[in-house]
Chain A
Amino acid sequence: MSKTDSTFSWTIYDANTLSQREIYGIVLKDLGALHPEIVGLSADLAKSTKIGTFGDAYPDRFFNFGIAEQNMFGVSAGLARAGLIPFVSTFSAFASMRACEFLRTDVCYQNLNVKVIATHGGISFGSAGSTHHALEDFAIVRALPNLTVIVPADAIETAQAVKRSMDIDGPVYIRIGRGFEPAVYESEDYEFEIGKAIEMRSGSDLCIIATGNTVWHAVQAADILKEESDISARVLNMHTLKPLDEESILKALVDTRRLITVEDHSIINGLGSAVADVIAGSGKACAFTKLGIPDTFTPHGHPEDLMHNFKIDTDGIVEKVRELLNREFEETEDWEDEV
């Protein structure tokens, strides 16, 4: 994408000061200049999802469907069939649930080139409560054939994901937060490849596998564990949930034998379950913990407070890592020296 890189108008300063969705809006606007086939679709959330930035620049390529997500996804399929590349933006809860059948049957079934930008993922829209929290979207969209699922860690990675999604001739679901997520990356000068996890910290005592906005917390936790207790924690940024980087997971399993997953999502059928599938398939024993939202509807609150409550923030990860390190997973351990 070197051709496009020089065209983008956002800067590192923007990435550190703007939210994921603000960066998304700017990147999409810049992509629009390069690709006249890109069109933007919104369901009355242009301002909230920041696709309005694209709409302001290209009003004749932008369509607001009102509060009619199913209709929007159905139209996106038709536009894609006509050779356009629709970027469809709405909240994660609506993209994955209200419009689920249209995403499944109209878009994924036909393997159409539709890019879904699902904002306000997880509990990032804390004050809006359970109706707007998206704790099920990983579980749903992971199960849709042909769909690539990306969960960027911060604004810079969102920019990377949006750009790289253009390399895929098929549907892509990019799940981002509401905004205010701390910056994980200082620049785009790192290898971002869809389907390939990024090792943020090396380590051999255990491996923390995180996705989305929990990556920053995982990195912080690893640094605290190193500083306080000399614990060597590997951190993987699993920015692509599908296709899943099984190779990195298996390597972490073999290398550390202790894995912990962290996600802003239900613990059911999200990142943790995907990793558990890989572990089970390997036939190797390990100590394993899934951190996420338990099987419950979530209360209202600030996202930071909710993350703390559900132990998917830095403090929670540190606490759960210490528990994991003390957990026995082998039935008997022989401490007799071999001679």
Chain B
Amino acid sequence: MTFSDEQLAGKIVLHAVLPVIKVLLEDDPAFKKSFEGLSGIVQFRAQDTDAPVGAYLVFDKGDFCVEQGIFEGKADLLFDFPSLKSMNDMFRGKPVLPRLGPLFKAIPSRFGLLLKTFKVLLAMKILMPNAQPKTPEKAYLKVKMSLYMVSTALSRMNKAGDPDMKAWTSKQPERIYQWSVEGSDIACYLKVKAGNTKAGRGVYTRRQPFVHMRFSSVDNALPVLSNSVDTVTAIAQGLLVNDGSPEYGGRVGDFMLRIAKLLS
């Protein structure tokens, strides 16, 4: 099965971008407080060529998760997009107005959910390459969310059957591509094995990473994740240390740039 770039971008949005909302809700004190005790289902739905695709956010009194697909019951809020492109464009930071529903029953709790969800979506703009965090706390969030998103997006590209990614993963034995930021708890990884991939959080402890991309600090990770410095320059400048195969590390960098292109 082959996918257009727009379809691939849609899968990345639904599987890799929406889930990093969890970082905001857990690590940003204001959001954490704001969603305490709040429950509700927020559906994102976009029309693809054959059928609608989507994912829904489940807020459950401070807990949060993202489920893929269309909620079987009636969601509390619906962000309905006429096309995948329009949904993707919203996450690309472009002005898009989805159809909202069901607003006819805008009871206070649902209205609160709508406002808070809007705030979250606005806060997600921190992922945009040109978004410059103004505080160390925001910088931490941007780096953490970006790395989490990228590792999941890489896995999703493979699962979607992207030919380049599939060709790259299928030839590899079990390998770990690890990202970490020194002086922080930010760490995630991509596990690859014979065509399979899995994105994970934290430091993989069951074996040595095949490639370990270590940022020396949150501040030094920012220019790389904002695409203002390429990885080769970042390594030369000491912003990033690439332990392991430089060729494979470089290839991961290529895929990361591809993801950035799909989402911009």
Give A residues with C-beta under 8 Å from B: 204-206, 229-232, 254-258, 325-326, 333-339
Contact = CB atoms under 8 A, between A and B. Distances in A.
B194 interface: yes
Interface stretch (B91-99, B168-176, B216-224): B168-176
A206 B152 contact: no
Given A255-B208, A257-B174, A335 B194 contact: no
Contacts of B174: 205, 257-258, 325
Contact of A337 (B65, B155, B207): B155
B175 A337 contact: no
B197 A204 contact: no
A241 B173 CA distance: 30
B188 to A, nearest CB: 8
Nearest to B199: A337
What is the size category of the interface that chain B forms with chain A?
20 to 34
Interface in B171-227: 171-175, 193-194, 196-201, 206-210
B9 interface: no
Given A205-B210, A255-B207, A257-B206, A339 B19 contact: yes
Contact of A339 (B152, B244, B245): B152
Most buried by B among A229, A254, A325, A337: A337
Given A230-B245, A231-B173, 9 more contacts: A204-B175, A204-B210, A254-B208, A257-B207, A334-B198, A337-B155, A339-B66, A339-B148, A339-B152
B156 interface: yes
B19 A335 contact: no
Contact of A204 (B22, B152, B207): B207
B144 interface: no
A221 to B, nearest CB: 15
Contact of A338 (B175, B201, B207, B210): B201
A259 B125 CA distance: 46
A309 to B, nearest CB: 27
B15 interface: yes
A337 B194 contact: no
20 contacts: A204-B175, A204-B208, A204-B209, A204-B244, A205-B210, A230-B245, A232-B244, A257-B207, A258-B173, A325-B173, A325-B174, A326-B173, A326-B194, A333-B196, A337-B199, A338-B199, A339-B19, A339-B20, A339-B152, A339-B199
A336 B19 CA distance: 13
Most buried by A among B173, B194, B197, B208: B173
A335 B172 CA distance: 15
A326 B193 CA distance: 9
Contacts of B193: 333
Nearest to B211: A204
Nearest to A324: B173
Nearest to B151: A337
Nearest to A256: B207
Q: What are the nearest 6 A-B pairs in CB distance?
A: A255-B208, A339-B19, A337-B199, A325-B173, A204-B208, A257-B207
Given A257-B174, A257-B207, A335 B198 contact: yes
A326 B196 CA distance: 13
Contacts of B152: 337, 339
A109 to B, nearest CB: 43
A337 B196 contact: no
B198 A337 contact: yes
A325 B210 CA distance: 14
A316 to B, nearest CB: 19
A134 to B, nearest CB: 35
Given A337-B199, A339-B22, A229 B207 contact: no
Contacts of A338: 198-201
Given A339-B19, A339-B22, A206 B173 contact: yes
B197 A335 contact: yes
A230 B207 contact: no
B171 A229 contact: yes
A205 to B, nearest CB: 5
A63 B19 CA distance: 80
Nearest to B248: A230
Nearest to A252: B208
Interface in B233-263: 244-245, 247-248
Contacts of B175: 204-205
Nearest to B188: A338
Nearest to A339: B19
Interface string B142-176: 00000010001001100000000000000111110
A258 B245 CA distance: 19
A325 B173 CA distance: 6
Contacts of A254: 207-208
Contacts of B247: 230
A229 B172 CA distance: 9
B156 A337 contact: yes
B208 A256 contact: yes
A205 B173 contact: yes
A151 to B, nearest CB: 27
Contacts of A230: 171-172, 245, 247-248
